[in-house]
Amino acid sequence: MIKAIPIFCALLMAAGVGAQQTVPIKGAVGNCVIANISPEKAKETALFNAKLDALRKAGIAENLIVDVTQMGEIFLETSNLEIGGGITGFDLVSDNIRFIEQGGAKVLVAEVVINATVMKYTHANDPSFRVQVQGVRSAYREKETLTFSVTPYQDGYLRIFLFEEDGAGDQLYPDKEKEPDVMFRKDKTMRFPLNGQYYYRLEKSDKNKAKEINRILFLFLKDNVHFTGNHISLQAVSNWKATISPDRRTQVFTEFAIER
């Protein structure tokens, strides 16, 4: 079993990036008050806020409009029309938990400092470049099989990434040996698995847990570009995605539970 993709372990056993301006940002800071959340979650939120601080310091926009979906702060979809840029990488300088003065009282906060690389986009997103994903349910029983369909509104190339709760991941499609890369044609529905000799069986990586959350990113691209990192994770894919001009990509991000 590959930990990064426990939901698809049976699959392994079964018969344009445009020219953009990059800006290095030193000492971007994010904070989060630790109240009714765990210290770990507070640090995640502080990291998210540090990324927003880096975008502001890069002069992307004063007022950021951010749509943070349920998968958390690491993989955020920002409004490119509003901020015009993304974080393509960062180094963690420090992450601390400490007391600060706030409103005349001491409060416990998580503070994260990063050095980030911000890419400024020269084009906004293309609202006509869309893709529809159907068939992914919100919950499955263990050992059920997963099927879904993808329908693009324009020609393009599909990348499907899988992520566990901790952000570890893998790429489901394309697969060089089982389901190679093809161009998806406008308005033609493609049903997965594309290869009828394989199936996607759902399994939890931790058998002691009653429920595990898994996430799928469907990234649809105008250009035939591939993920180039050494390992796949929510963070690594987020950084790579940010290097692609928003007018050259669109995405659907969904999650589901695997239950006993």
Domain ranges of the chain: 6-15+125-259, 21-120
From the list 72, 23, 82, 79, the residue with the least C-alpha distance to 48 is 72
Mean confidence (pLDDT) of the chain = 83
Rounded Cα–Cα distance for residues 71 and 111 (Å): 21
| Torsion-angle region of 40 (φ positive above 0: left; ψ -120 to 50: alpha; else: beta) | alpha
Instruction: Find where tokens 């991000």 sit.
Output: 253
Residue 41: what pLDDT?
84
Residue 204: what pLDDT?
86
Residue 219: what pLDDT?
96
**Token couple for 243:** 């290097």
Give strand pairing partners of 133: 150
Per-residue pLDDT, averaged over 67-93, amounts to: 62
Residue 79: what pLDDT?
43
Structure confidence by residue, pLDDT tens digits, 206-250: 888 889 999 999 999 999 999 988 889 888 898 899 889 999 999
Give strand pairing partners of 33: 109
Structure confidence by residue, pLDDT tens digits, 8-25: 433 333 324 445 688 999
Q: Which CATH class is domain 6-15+125-259?
A: mainly beta
**Token couple for 250:** 């669109």
Structure confidence by residue, pLDDT tens digits, 30-69: 999 998 888 888 888 898 889 889 988 988 865 555 544 4
Rounded Cα–Cα distance for residues 36 and 34 (Å): 7
Q: At CA 164, angle to CA 12 and CA 7, rounded to 5? A: 35
Structure confidence by residue, pLDDT tens digits, 149-161: 999 999 999 999 9
Q: For the structural domain made of 21-120, what CATH number should be given? A: 3.30.1660
Reported pTM: 0.77
Residue 75 has pLDDT above 70, yes or no: no
Specify the higher pLDDT residue, 70 or 221. 221
Structure confidence by residue, pLDDT tens digits, 174-186: 998 899 999 999 9
Residue 166: what pLDDT?
79
Which 3 state secondary structure label does DSSP give 10? Answer: helix
